Structure 1
Amino acid sequence: MAESRERFRRACSGVVGVLPGPLRRVVAPSLVGFTLVNGVTFAVDLVLLSLLIDGLRLPLWAGITVAYGTAFALSFVLNRRLNFDPERPVGAQIGRYVGVIAVNYAVIVLGVTHGLAAVGVPYQLARLGAGLCEAVFMYCSMRWFVFGHTRARTRA
């Protein structure tokens, strides 16, 4: 696993390395990694959401809950292993993550998705809109709170 983590981190650093100068100075390799990992887990979320609502005919809130929970468990594991710090104790990280996803779920996932759906936006597009808000909130939360990177550790 350490070898795949290093390959992943080198690839993310390589992407940052080809960005134009001003972007290279502000985009962290962990942002590239987060985008890759969460792009995959968001796709898992949307596929599950469609299967649960259109296939199993679950209510929107139930489909969102099951798909979200599955995707975010996968996101935590992949981000911890590949993108952030797997050597630190997992207990505190899980506790912080649960708090962050509870706020994210209540305010962004359910609130924004239901709000957009209530005004007539198809649920898939509503979830995509909420996903954009969620991406910003979750990256900041994971980088600076859940996995607790300090400036010195981020530069290293």
Structure 2
Amino acid sequence: MDRSRARFRRACAAVVGVLPGPLRRVVAPSLVGFAVVNGFTFAVDLLLLSLLIDGAGLPLGAGVTVAYGTAFALSFVLNRWLNFDAERPVGVQVGRYVAVIAVNYAVIVLGVTHGATALGAPYQLARLGAGLCEAVFMYGAMRWWVFGRASHRRTARTPGS
């Protein structure tokens, strides 16, 4: 494991270590890592979205698509490198990731973003709401399906294990 990855994982584990007892038992270090990585890539998404729509004059659908695709490619690379173990070959992971983001994109990103803007919300606020919905979906999909379950078992032993 390279030093950057080890340092990142230690920092995530340290955050979990200072949580109150009940949360410490529920929150995995990979959830903290996912929040950090995807918080960063979501900021990239919003920045690109604003530049593409307000700066380049792209229509909402095109701006969302380009910004989303860029941010999610970056998310895959960073999560695979820093946060989740690579149990499967990268080709299998990419295939699964593409399936997950296709569903996420159609249902959550476009659906929620367009729905909220149709109701009068500014596109940035609509995208923020969609981002909250997709965070829950994407973490579960990446942890248990894209990158595999076995690498994310809690290292702390529970009574009887």
- TM-score normalised to structure 1 length: 0.96
**Where does the alignment leave 5 or more consecutive residues of structure 1 unmatched?**
none
Q: Which has more helix, going by share of residues?
A: 1
CA offset digits 1:3-36 (Å, max 9, x no partner): 1000000000000000000000000000000000
CA offset digits 1:39-70 (Å, max 9, x no partner): 00000000000000000110000000000000
| Whole-angstrom CA distance in 2 between matches of 1:114 and 1:128 | 12
Q: How does 1:5-154 map to 2 (within 5 A)?
A: 5-86=5-86, 88-150=88-150, 153-154=152-153
| Whole-angstrom CA distance in 2 between matches of 1:86 and 1:11 | 20
| Whole-angstrom CA distance in 1 between matches of 2:63 and 2:74 | 17
TM-fit CA distance, 1:88? 3.6
Equivalent AA in structure 2 for residue 38 of structure 1: N
CA RMSD of aligned residues (A): 1.2
| Whole-angstrom CA distance in 2 between matches of 1:137 and 1:94 | 17
TM-fit CA distance, 1:127? 0.0
1:155 is paired with a residue of what secondary structure?
coil
CA offset digits 1:73-100 (Å, max 9, x no partner): 0000000000001364101000000000
| Whole-angstrom CA distance in 2 between matches of 1:57 and 1:47 | 14
| Whole-angstrom CA distance in 2 between matches of 1:140 and 1:107 | 16
Does the CA-based 8 Å contact 2:12-2:30 persist in structure 1? yes
Q: 4+ residue stretches of structure 1 with deviation over 4 A?
A: none
| Whole-angstrom CA distance in 2 between matches of 1:153 and 1:68 | 26
CA offset digits 1:95-143 (Å, max 9, x no partner): 0000000000000000000000001000000000000000000000000
Q: How many residues align?
A: 155
Does the CA-based 8 Å contact 2:93-2:147 persist in structure 1? yes
